[in-house]
Amino acid sequence: MQEVKHLQMKVLDFVDKEEAAALGKLGSSIQQSHNRLLKLEGDSIWLRTLLANRSDQQFLQEFPRLKHFSDSMEPLMGTNCEEEQSFLQLPETLEELRSRLADMGLSFINQLLLKGIKMKSYEVLPPAVDRKTLLKCYCNLNFDPTTASEELFLFKETHSVLNLGILLEPFTAGGPFPGFKQWPQVLCSRGLSEGRHYWEAEVSNSWVCLGVTYRRSPPLSGRPRRNIVYLLGRNPYSWCLEWDSLKFSVWHDNTQTVLHGGYHRTLGVALDCAAGCLSFYGVAGGVSLLYRFLASFLEPLYPAVMVSSGALVTLKQV
């Protein structure tokens, strides 16, 4: 709230300064016009007197003064507002204010949802966003090889991960947390806990999951390998967007929501930690919102992917 009040004061102060500058220019222009009018009235009287005088000698003596009339016709100061020279900081300040207000609204809605208050979908419509705005908070990510399942092959130069469909190393139960390596998954090295972040990934037209997770999961059980609870989105500690070669869906706490729309080669993920907002976008020139989670994030979130046999995921760098 303090930040919003500060931004409001900046906007009002800027508008006041621009108004004072515009009034100053207007007052100067009015004074200049008044002086010019007085001079023109004097010149008009002199010309009428000259025309009424029938003496040719008098006219020839006064003629040089006529030549200086056009030279002395200085232009008046314009009062138009130069749009490109004025209000330079106002659009950015207003955009920042709008963004802060939207974040506060999402945070408030999030708190209502956590308290069990039901809201209809049209009551929580997200604010409009474009890719240019999202790219301002872009973060370049890297895969953490120590968290990769034995089936995955990482390309450091291209920031890609490929599932070869074979075990590159004997299966181990270790990893970033118990059970994570039961599926062909890998974390990024950076945990996100504050601020706003955006990243993009190119995905092949195969079964893939793209999302975020806490660095923990349900404890290991004696069940066979690949217990579904350790897959992204199938537990309370992770959220993901899934493409299964036919459709998109989102998962959290083993609850699936099927989405409409076709395949996107490039996907965008936006995370606003303070607002408790995780958004997934299809990217094709611009961005189209696929789904938005509202949650209360209690721990750092690690971007993660699941890559099925033969699939490829590449983290884009900007």
35-55 pLDDT tens trace: 888 877 777 787 777 677 766
**Residue ranges of the alpha helices (H) in the chain?**
2-52, 56-67, 90-114, 131-135
Beta bridge partners of 292: 279
- Cβ partners under 8 Å of residue 129, min gap 6: 270, 287, 289
Segment 244-255 mean pLDDT: 95
The lowest-confidence range among 75-84, 125-134, 261-270 is 75-84
Centre a 10 Å sphere on the Cβ of residue 114 and count the other Cβ atoms it contains: 12
User: What is the C-alpha separation between 239 and 68, in angstroms, rounded?
Assistant: 81
Helix (H, G, I), strand (E, B) or coil at 282: strand
Q: Which residue has the higher pLDDT, 36 or 311?
A: 311
CA distance linking residue 143 with residue 305, whole number of Å: 9
Q: How far is CA 20 from CA 69, 90, 158, 258, in A?
A: 35, 16, 55, 56
- What pLDDT, on a 0 to 100 scale, did the predictor assign at position 299? 94
Read off the pLDDT of each residue in 188-199 and give the average, rounded to a whole number. 95
Query: Which of residues 125 and 68 earns the better pLDDT score?
Result: 68
> Whole-prediction pTM value?
0.62
Given a cut of 80, is residue 250 above it in pLDDT? yes
Topology at the third CATH level for domain 127-315: Jelly Rolls (2.60.120)
Cα 213–Cα 214–Cα 219 angle in degrees, nearest 5: 105
Q: Is the pLDDT of residue 291 over 80?
A: yes
| Mean pLDDT to the nearest integer, 54-63 | 63
User: Could you tell me what percent of the chain has a pLDDT over 70?
Assistant: 67
- pLDDT at 125 > cutoff 60: no
Q: Where are the domains of the chain?
A: 2-88, 127-315
Three-state DSSP at 45 gives helix
pLDDT at 57 over 90: no
Radius of gyration for the chain, computed over Cα atoms and rounded to the nearest angstrom: 34
Cβ 124 vs Cβ 131: under 8 Å? no
Mean pLDDT of 129-134: 90
Percent of the chain's residues with pLDDT above 90: 44
Identify which of 177, 180, 141 has the alpha carbon closest to the alpha carbon of residue 160: 141
Question: Could you tell me which residues are beta bridge partners of residue 192?
Answer: 301
In a 3-state reduction of DSSP, which class is residue 300?
A: coil
Residue type, 292: R
Tell me what pLDDT residue 66 has.
60
The full length of the chain comes to: 318
Integer Cα distance of 117 and 111 in angstroms: 9
pLDDT, residue 121, reads: 42
Give 233-244 pLDDT, tens digit per residue.
999 999 999 999
CA neighbor of 261 nearest in space, from 283, 290, 293: 290
Torsion sign over Cα 197, 198, 203, 209: positive
Q: Tokens 């604010």 label which residue?
A: 127
Residues 118, 2: Cα–Cα separation, whole Å: 29
